[in-house]
């Protein structure tokens, strides 16, 4: 993983922790661990919150009806890759 993608990973992890008021530090989110269900334990409402924060912060819309959402939100790494490819700010 490049330094830039590690930095973005850490930034996104921080956004997730602050948006959801999680009782863990951003560094505790494993890049490849599932965000949904048994990994980080997020539910569909949490994912919507994360999508809203990411959309505002990075300037592009994460849509609920996107067929790729399961893949996009499968892990911190996959979400970060999607942000890197689509961000406008």
Structure tokens at 41: 């334990």
pLDDT score, position 63? 83
Look up the domain containing 7 and give its range.
Answer: 3-86
CATH number for the domain harbouring residue 15 = 1.10.1200.10
pLDDT score, position 2? 80
For the chain, state the CA radius of gyration. Answer: 12
Instruction: Specify the number of domains making up the chain.
Output: 1
Rounded CA gap, 39 and 54, in Å? 20
Say if CB 9 and CB 76 are below 8 A apart: yes
The pTM (predicted TM-score) of the whole model is 0.91
User: pLDDT (tens digit, 9 = 90+) per residue, 26-72?
Assistant: 999 999 999 988 889 999 899 999 999 999 999 999 888 888 989 99
Rounded CA gap, 2 and 34, in Å? 21
* Residue of 49, 52, 40 whose CA lies nearest to 76: 40
């Amino acid at each position: 993983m490049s330094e830039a993608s590690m930095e973005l990973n850490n930034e996104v992890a921080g956004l997730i922790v602050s948006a959801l008021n999680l009782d863990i530090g951003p560094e505790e989110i494993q890049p490849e661990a599932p965000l949904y269900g048994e990994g980080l334990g997020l539910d569909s409402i949490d994912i919507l919150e994360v999508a809203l924060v990411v959309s505002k912060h990075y300037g592009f819309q994460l849509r609920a009806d996107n067929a790729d959402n399961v893949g996009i939100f499968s892990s911190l790494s996959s979400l970060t890759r999607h942000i890197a490819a689509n961000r406008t700010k």
